[in-house]
Amino acid sequence: MAQAVPPNEEVFMKTYDPVITRRIIDFGKPYLWKVFVSLILMLISSSAAAFAPYFMHLAIDQGLTARNWERLQQIILIYLATAAVQALGTYFRVYIMARVGKSIIVDIRTSLFHHLQNLSLSFFNHFSVGRVITRVVNDVGVLREFISWAFLAVARDLFTLIFIVGAMVAMNARLSFLTFLVLPLMILTTVIFRKKARENYRKVRSAISWVNSNLAENINGVRVVQAFSRQEYNFAHFRDSVNKNNLTANLSAAKIAAGYPSAIDFLGTTSVAVIVWLGGIAVLGGPSVIGTITAGELVAFILYIDRFFEPIRDLSQRYDSFQSAMAAGERIFALLDTPIEVQDAPNATELPTIRGQVDFNQVTFHYSDDSTLVLKHIDLHVQPGETVALVGETGSGKSTMVKLVSRFIDPSEGSVLVDGYDLRQVTQASLRSQMGVVLQDPFLFNGSALENIRFGRLEASDDEVIDAARSVGAHEFISNLPNGYQTSVGEGGISLSVGQRQLISFARALLAMPRVLILDEATSSIDTQTEIIIQKALTRLLKGRTAFVIAHRLSTVVNADRIVVIQDGQIVEQGTHAELLAKGGYYYNLYRTGFEE
């Protein structure tokens, strides 16, 4: 349907930046000598290629015109040898460079992914999955293109150009300069066309991405489209503006794209005419501005002209690729440079097996980029095995408190202790392996049910996995799946209902045998049977563990050992359900309005 403006494109061009170039080169350092060998091979094969017209000239002048078969044979054999060298050189260069380029890219991708594993979770709130994928896949791809092809191609183009110019000048300097007169025109044309082409490319990209998003929206919403009988209206919009815009963008790009080769061909053929005219007269020994030249040289000249324009065209393309690589590099390094907020201290110790006592000592928290206090001087002491229900409005600070317990964030002031250990002094791995987290929207990985449960403890046997599933009441529905425990749950667990996903995430948490459990209860409408099973599973899960529950269900709240009411980052009330109701304070009001019809 109508979208006010086509989506904007991110900037994807950038001029030379020494810092970025330096850092790209740093990734290339381990492969330096291989790059060097490739460069040599490149020079060998491109000079062999550049020699071809010269051999033609030698063959005509020294062999054919001079009627010398011996000499002709020699020339042909040398030509054959250079052709073979060129082929082998290319083969080995591609072989080496392919591996170098790809290895560098593998290294960059791996360090990006590694960095992603350590970034704080809040980073992903601002940085969408789509953007991460763009960085790791597309931007790195642009860089790959540049490293594997463009970098050496630039060297080749420059070398070829120099060689051709040298050969032409050596044969006849004046005719060469006459030919070069066309160069400024050619470069000007190229620059103008490039600029136009780039603009058009952007327009075409944004046109097609508008088509894409329009399709995505309408296909995803096709049921609503049909329910409101909007098919004809939407089609007219697509045909007359979205798709039409794409057509127009493509046509105006076509005008430019079709024009450039024409302009270059025109200039090239014109220079051939000039060479034939002036060169021909010179061959005949007539009065000519260019002195003398042989027939063979003339032919070689004409052959060189063809090859002369190609590196120029190519270089202008490489310049684009270079600019894109700069822009991609900048974004990749920006991601790699994002500081890691939560890190193991250098002298961090392994947290021994804990009993599950949790203490908040005067904890204050605010995000590093925002001075608003999310939590203010929280003091909370939880005994091993106690179930604490956290209650409060959205944004009151409940989630921040549980994030502190699993050390997804560090307190700005004060400290969080588990069994008396300050969390900042222990390794994250040893802490989290004793901690279970169940989220409101249970996240499953695309894999089998078995794999998803085993995620809780990788070394668990199949039997242990099944036991865990049984304990939380997930065994029955998993056994009924088409392939039982081996059934793939689909991307994000899409093929299961929310309730079923929740049960699998319970089993996963149970299998991890955590001492401290953090639970963000789901509120989604789940059918009656599943609801009963989940209630039972919860009881089973909470038994004998310290638990923090962000509670939405009345039953959980009522049965909690302690209810902690949070408002504006502070604990305003705590006690059992009965105590708090009797008190008639915030909790009383919250639940009176919450459940009143």
Shortest distance in whole angstroms from residue 170 CB to other proteins: 20
Of residues 6, 63, 356, 473, which one binds other proteins by CB under 8 A? 63
CA triple 463-469-474, angle to 5 deg: 145
| Interacting span for other proteins (CB under 8 A) from 21-29, 351-359, 367-375, 526-534 | 526-534
User: Can you tell me the distance from the alpha carbon of 546 to that of 550, in angstroms, rounded to the nearest whole number?
Assistant: 13
Which neighbouring-strand residues pair with 319? none
Q: Is 392 in the site for other proteins (CB under 8 A)?
A: no
Q: Does 35 bind other proteins (CB under 8 A)?
A: no
Candidates 182, 160, 178; CA nearest to 169 is 178
Whichever of 37 and 274 has its CB closer to other proteins, that residue is 274
CA–CA separation, 543 vs 433, rounded Å?
18
In the bound state with other proteins, the residue whose beta carbon lies nearer, of 275 and 315, is: 275
Tokens 């088409």 sit at which residue? 482
Q: How far apart are the first and last CA of the chain?
A: 38
Contact between 408 and other proteins (CB under 8 A)? Answer: yes
Contact call for residue 575 and other proteins (CB under 8 A): no
Q: Does 246 bind other proteins (CB under 8 A)?
A: yes
Out of 199, 350, 462, 531, name the contact with other proteins by CB under 8 A.
531
Count the Cβ atoms, other than its own, within 10 Å of residue 31: 19
Per CB under 8 A, which of residues 341..380 are in contact with other proteins?
Answer: none
Q: In the window 94-113, what residues touch other proteins (CB under 8 A)?
A: 94-95, 98-99, 102-103, 105-106, 109-110, 113
Q: Is 190 in the site for other proteins (CB under 8 A)?
A: no
Residue 486 and residue 229: Cα distance in Å, rounded?
Answer: 42
Out of 22, 29, 67, 126, name the contact with other proteins by CB under 8 A: 67
User: 18 or 285, CB closer to other proteins?
Assistant: 285
Q: Which of residues 125-154 bind other proteins (CB under 8 A)?
A: 129, 132-133, 136-137, 148
The contact pattern for other proteins, residues 447-486, with x = CB under 8 A and - = no contact, is --------xx-x----------------------------
Q: Of residues 181, 212, 383, 539, which one binds other proteins by CB under 8 A?
A: 212
The reply to whether 155 sits near other proteins by the rule CB under 8 A is no
Instruction: Give the pairing of strands 570-575 and 562-567.
Output: antiparallel
Number of neighbouring beta carbons within 10 Å of residue 432: 17
321 vs 433, beta carbon nearer other proteins: 433
Q: Is 596 in the site for other proteins (CB under 8 A)?
A: yes
Q: Which of 37, 39, 43, 52 binds other proteins (CB under 8 A)?
A: 52
Taking CA 202 as the corner, what is the angle to CA 199 and CA 207, rounded to the nearest 5 degrees?
125
SS3 of 458-495: CCCCHHHHHHHHHHCCCHHHHHCCCCHHHCECCHHHCC
Among residues 461 and 524, whose Cβ is nearest to other proteins? 524
225-244 positions binding other proteins, by CB under 8 A: 225-231, 233-235, 238-239, 243-244
HEC per residue, 81-149: HHHHHHHHHHHHHHHHHHHHHHHHHHHHHHHHHHHHHHCCCCHHHHCCHHHHHHHHHHHHHHHHHHHHH
Helix (H, G, I), strand (E, B) or coil at 594: helix
Enumerate residues 411-450 that contact other proteins by CB under 8 A: 428-429, 432-433, 435-437, 439, 443, 445-446
Q: Is 199 in the site for other proteins (CB under 8 A)?
A: no
